[in-house]
A = this chain, B = another copy of it.
Amino acid sequence: MKRPGQRGPQDIELIIVGSIGIDTIRTPKAVRSRILGGSVSYACIAASFFTKVGMVGVVGDDFPNRYRQLYRRFRIDLKGLQQVPGRTFRWSGVYARDMNNRRTLRTELNVFAGFKPELPPEYRAAKYLFLANISPELQLHVLEQVRHTRFVAADTMDLWINTARKPLMDLIGRVQMLTLNDAEAKLLTGEDNLVRAARHILRWGPDYVVVKKGEHGAMLFTSGDVFVIPAFPIEQVIDPTGAGDAFAGGFMGGLARMGTKQGAVRRALAYGSVLASFGVEAFGLDRLVRLKKTEIEWRLAQYRRLVQV
């Protein structure tokens, strides 16, 4: 019998909280309607290659059962997945010709408007927690429910920087890692230079700041170190949706598997970059769901070569 706090190999190591949506995505070459999306879907599936993941999110009663089955195929624990009356969150967007800029065509919050993330008791002992991009109030609400979490990472966006700065600052003071994009890092700190912006955020509390730069990769800052993570070059970008979430999922999954020693953190970040690079090779989750572990390791080896001086 296990003592309280003792953990076995089937225990959930990583909890991911965020949005689940039904997306319609238009690129210059194609349109795909009503496909599974949301930060939690991308991040959980990416992380599932490395560790046992628990999902926290909300769907409506229209949520297709095949999507739930898909999560199960990746051994994602769904005790934190709430289903409530109403329609699932919907998003549609269109990408410009170079695939770097996108415009939201329509957002229907639906059941997501009333989302209050609750952690099932068995999630509260997980060592790793990723708070994907939801309001800082909800992220704080999740933080209140955990006790033994060793490593909390939170993602955020310009909307919360502009409209919910106070709870966001509260959150930043309480997490081990903040992830945000380059423009958001500058907006949050008022610094024009990324290095200064990241150092500024580190002074507010986190041990790690990850600045995401889309097709240019990402940078990891700690108080004493900088790590530059180029994006893996992809010849045929089909759909960039969810790339940042696949990156975060691969990274957090890698951390949950390998720990947070310095070499492990870099390796986990490289896994994040690799997962993101696969993610953009097909629409929505199509590439991630047919990904094999050997492909991940093969691309990681290529990735090391890519940056080796």
Contact = CB atoms under 8 A, between A and B. Distances in A.
A217 B230 contact: yes
A191 to B, nearest CB: 10
A147 to B, nearest CB: 33
B219 A216 contact: no
Contacts of A204: none
Contact of A219 (B233, B267, B308): B233
Given A192-B99, A196-B235, A309 B267 contact: yes
A162 interface: no
A266 B235 contact: no
A227 B306 contact: yes
Stoichiometry (number of copies): 2
The number of chain A residues touching the other chain, given as a range, is 20 to 34
Contacts of A195: 233-235
A97 interface: yes
A233 B306 CA distance: 19
A144 interface: no
A236 B309 contact: no
A233 B303 CA distance: 20
A113 interface: no
B233 A194 contact: yes
A228 interface: yes
B98 A266 contact: no
A306 B228 contact: yes
A168 interface: no
B192 A266 contact: no
Contacts of A97: 192
Contact of A216 (B213, B226, B267, B307): B213
A36 interface: no
A237 interface: yes
A69 interface: no
Interface string A267-309: 1011000000000000000000000000000000001101111
A193 interface: yes
Contact of A228 (B230, B234, B267, B269): B230
A226 B219 contact: no
Interface string A218-250: 010000001110100111110000000000000
Contact of A309 (B196, B234, B237, B266): B266
A196 B99 CA distance: 14
Given A98-B186, A196-B235, A270-B309, 11 more contacts: A193-B236, A195-B234, A196-B236, A216-B216, A216-B217, A217-B230, A228-B233, A230-B230, A266-B308, A266-B309, A267-B309
Interface of A: 97-99, 186, 192-196, 199, 213, 215-217, 219, 226-228, 230, 233-237, 266-267, 269-270, 303-304, 306-309
Q: Which 4 A-B pairs have the closest CB atoms?
A: A228-B230, A216-B216, A195-B235, A307-B307
